[in-house]
Amino acid sequence: MACDKPAPTGPSKAPSAIPPDDVVREAVERLGAQIADGTIELLGESGSDPVVLAEPDPGWPARFRDVRTRLIDALGDVALRVDHVGSTAVPDMAAKPIIDVQVSVQDIDDEPAFAPTIESLGWRLRVREAGHRFFRSPAGEPRDVHVHVCAVGSERERHHLLFRDYLRAHPKTAQAYAALKRELAERYRNDRWGYTEGKTPFIEETTKLAEAWAKETSWSLDRA
């Protein structure tokens, strides 16, 4: 849950301008290079569904709880924590209607401990990279849940939860983020990589603010 201490008195709103197309294209090319050299491994078929945002849905938390229960029942003690992350975890925020779930495990490289179980629930391993495994429905099927697996206590785990809690505690920043995503969805409707990389500058600037907020409010992963 978000910390209830007051936010810093300094700036709390990150820039919302869309980065220039050439900056986004360069970021996408870097991502492509990581895939080409094997740093990021893609498995299965790529989906082609467009980027479409939905208005805030009060039913998203309940959908997360249902997915969380399924994962915990299946994974047992392998799942050290299961958290709702991403934009659907932030109240009153427009988002792609996809529930992002973060599963923390002891050893991210021990795929046999979790991957077959998650795949048995219908989500296929799509991305393998250092510190992260990403599961989603097979291409062509409705995409309504993303499952991210990371190591417990890792920076990736902490970053996703801190970013979520900062947006929960700063509605104006959350709305600026939503406005940016709407603009990006229009510009990169049929380019998911472009849409994703277009958000990066905002996320980086907001993360800096979130780190300062974490220090001032004594936010910790244990309280997330």
Q: How many domains is the chain partitioned into structurally?
A: 1
Instruction: Please state, in angstroms and as integers, the Cα–Cα distance from residue 32 to each residue in 29, 35, 70, following that order.
Output: 5, 5, 34
For residue 12, name the pLDDT band (cuts at 50, 70, 90).
very low
Half-sphere exposure of 97 (CA within 13 A, CB side): 11
b/e string for 83-122 if b means 16 or more Cβ within 10 A?
A: bbbbbbbbeebbbbbbbbbbbbbeebeeeeebbeebeeee
- 98-150 pLDDT, tens digit each: 999 999 999 999 999 999 999 999 999 999 999 999 999 987 788 899 999 99
Q: Taking CA 203 as the corner, what is the angle to CA 28 and CA 37, rounded to the nearest 5 degrees?
A: 30
So what's the pLDDT on residue 16? 57
Looking at the domain assignment, is residue 49 inside a domain?
A: yes
Looking at the domain assignment, is residue 182 inside a domain?
A: yes
Give the residue numbers spanning the domain of 115: 21-223
Looking at the domain assignment, is residue 6 inside a domain?
A: no
Amino acid at 67: V
Looking at the domain assignment, is residue 141 inside a domain?
A: yes
- Look-up of token digits 């490289």: 109
Global confidence as pTM: 0.87
So what's the pLDDT on residue 32? 81
Looking at the domain assignment, is residue 184 inside a domain?
A: yes
Arithmetic mean of pLDDT, 16-42 = 81
Contact between 166 and 12 (Cβ < 8 Å): no
Residue closest to 221 by CA, chosen among 133, 113, 104: 104
CATH number of the domain bearing residue 206: 3.30.460.10
So what's the pLDDT on residue 3? 39
Q: What's the whole-number average pLDDT of the chain? A: 89
Looking at the domain assignment, is residue 94 inside a domain?
A: yes
Rounded CA-CA distance 201/206 in Å is: 9
So what's the pLDDT on residue 24? 77
Half-sphere exposure of 171 (CA within 13 A, CB side): 2
So what's the pLDDT on residue 15? 55
